[in-house]
Amino acid sequence: MGEIKTGDVVGRVSYGCDVYFKVIEIFPGNDGQDCARLKGLDMRLFATSRLDDLYKFEPAQVAAYWHNCMTSNHEHMKRVFQRRQQEHVQRLNRAADSVDRIESFDVPGSVLHIDGDGDYLDLCMTTYRQLGIPAGGYRIAEDKQVQEVGQLLRKHRPDILVLTGHDGFAKGTRDFSDLKNYHNSPYFVESVKTARQYEKSRDDLIIFAGACQSHYEALLNAGANFASSPRRVLIHAFDPVFVVEKVAYTSIYDPISLKDIIAGTITGFAGIGGLETRGKYRLGVPKSPY
């Protein structure tokens, strides 16, 4: 198998190698055994493990894994565009009688995405562009986001704010209500509170916050519209994007169906939840020829 080093893609043998991780640091453990700090390849999870519990995946296995991830993402995007086409006709019918004679234009909600992981941020920004969502993105460590979110909100004045990265709870945790048992949930909570000082209304600024196994209740209580993770499960790197897409392309006239928005994510109701929220999309007619 070869020596495991920083940058390798591995799985935890004791967990059946159920999640693909990248090794981001190797350090000596308290018992004298070498340990690794890990981040999920496509799951927003931090973890630590002894090196002797890690299996190093071959490049072909990693390539096949990414292929499956991208295929799943592509299928989600196909469903998004099919849904949009249906909704577009409905909006034109509401805006004008002669649908076939009027050209329209879209003004979707804008996004400020702050992510603790640069790799995930790049994936999300690419997907925003593919989905036609105006977005600004910043890679900021989870514990530093609270210091930056206020000025970035004032700079971008977005309709939607995403605060995410990695999270998880301490191994052996039994009290899931105690915020102290989570790696980054306390930082996400403080960042949401700071964002709500900038804009109190949940209708004027829509907030998605959290990552894998985050303290769902605390994030909603702090002021988030949508958060992870109700069942303390892992969430996918693209889950925030698919929540944002539904918000950005649902009309300002319409409340968003919680069932529809969460069913449209990869993880579903175990990983994502939220509150009733209105959309941020505006239809424009007619489209100028210039």
What's the pLDDT tens digit per position in 187-233? 999 999 999 999 999 999 999 999 999 999 999 999 999 999 999 99
Q: Per residue in 17-66, pLDDT tens?
A: 988 999 999 998 887 789 998 988 888 888 889 999 999 999 999 999 88
Read off the pLDDT band of 12 (50, 70, 90).
very high
Does residue 100 carry a pLDDT above 60?
no
Other CB atoms within 10 A of residue 147 CB? 12
Contact 108, 249 (CB under 8 A): yes
CA distance 281 to 108: 4
3-state secondary structure string across the chain? CCCCCCCCEEEEHHHCCCCCEEEEEEEECCCCCEEEEEEECCECEEEEEEHHHEEECCHHHHHHHHHHHHHHHHHHHHHHHHHHHHHHHHHHHHHCCCHHHCCCEEECCCEEEEECCHHHHHHHHHHHHHHCCCEEEEECCHHHHHHHHHHHHHHHCCCEEEEECCECECCCCCCCCCHHHECCHHHHHHHHHHHHHHCCCCCCCEEEECCCCCCHHHHHHHCCCEECCCCCCCCECCHHHHHHHHHHCCECCCEECHHHHHHCCCCCCCCCEECCEECCEEEECCCCCC
Confidence (pLDDT) at 279: 94
Residue 177's pLDDT band, with cuts at 50, 70 and 90, is very high
Model confidence at 249: pLDDT above 80: yes
* pLDDT over threshold 90, residue 168: no
- pLDDT tops 60 at residue 155: yes
Domain ranges of the chain: 9-57, 73-284
94 has a pLDDT exceeding 70: no
Instruction: Please give the residue that has the higher pLDDT: either 42 or 186.
Output: 186
Average predicted confidence (pLDDT) for the chain? 90
Q: By percentage, how much of the chain surpasses pLDDT 90?
A: 63
The pTM for the full model equals 0.84
Most confident of the ranges 18-32, 42-56, 141-155, 259-273? 141-155
- Give the whole-angstrom CA distance, residue 46 versus residue 25: 12
* Least trusted range by pLDDT, from 93-102, 111-120, 160-169, 219-228: 93-102
pLDDT band at 2 (very low <50, low <70, confident <90, very high): low
Q: Is the pLDDT of residue 69 over 90?
A: no
Q: Residue 13 has what pLDDT?
A: 94
* pLDDT band per the 50, 70, 90 thresholds, residue 86: confident
At 111 the pLDDT is: 98
pLDDT of residue 3 exceeding 60, the answer is yes
pLDDT for res 95: 60
Task: Specify the amino acid at residue 200.
Answer: K
Q: Classify 16 in phi/psi space as left (phi over 0), alpha (psi -120 to 50) or beta.
A: left
Fold of the domain built from segment(s) 73-284: Rossmann fold (3.40.50)
Partners of 48 in the β-ladder: 37
Q: Among 2-11, 63-72, 192-201, 228-237, which stretch is predicted with the lowest mean pLDDT? A: 63-72
